[in-house]
Amino acid sequence: MQQNDPDTLVTLYNQSITSVLDKHAPSHTITLKGNNLKPWYNDEVHEARRIRRRLPRQYSKLEIHRQLLKEQSINVVRMIDLKRPNSTNRSLPRLTLKTLLDF
């Protein structure tokens, strides 16, 4: 049966496309995290993380560039630890081999 009616063809086309999309890329809802969940994340932390992400792309494989990346990574982690109020580093005691062996 040949269907030449434009409205019927458009409806058939829309149904076919919707069916394929539902099968291969089903829609789902996402939840965006608000800024209030990370009050410690400010412009200073953002800039330090941006620099850290840029370093591997910007430099070659020289040892000095690896050292710069390592120092920047340590800098970002320390900055976040200082700004985060409930940091795990502050709430847990420092364990060393000596304290573990004392048990």
- Residue 96 in domain: no
- 73 alpha carbon, distance to own chain's centre: 16
Is residue 98 a part of any domain in this protein? Answer: no
Domain annotation covers residue 53? yes
Report which listed range, 17-31, 32-46, 60-74, is most confident. 17-31
- pLDDT value at position 37? 66
The domain containing residue 57 runs over which residues? 6-26+34-89
Angle of the 63-83 helix axis to the 43-58 helix axis, nearest 10 = 160
Number of domains observed in the structure of the chain: 1
Output the six-digit token pair for 38.
Answer: 């990370």
Give the C-alpha separation, 69 to 51, whole Å. 9
Which DSSP category does 34 fall into? P
Question: Nearest to residue 74, comparing CAs of 47, 50, 49?
Answer: 49
pLDDT tens-place string over residues 73-92: 999 999 988 888 765 555 55
Assigned domain for 45 exists: yes
What is residue 24's predicted lDDT score, i.e. its pLDDT? 92
Residue 38 pLDDT: 77
Is residue 102 situated within a structural domain? no
Q: Is residue 60 part of a domain?
A: yes
The answer to whether residue 44 is domain-embedded is yes
Tokens 């070659």 belong to: 60
Cβ neighbours of residue 93 closer than 8 Å, sequence gap 6 or more: 99
Rounded CA-CA distance 100/44 in Å is 37
- Inside any domain, residue 95: no
Is 31 within 8 Å of 44 (Cβ atoms)? Answer: no
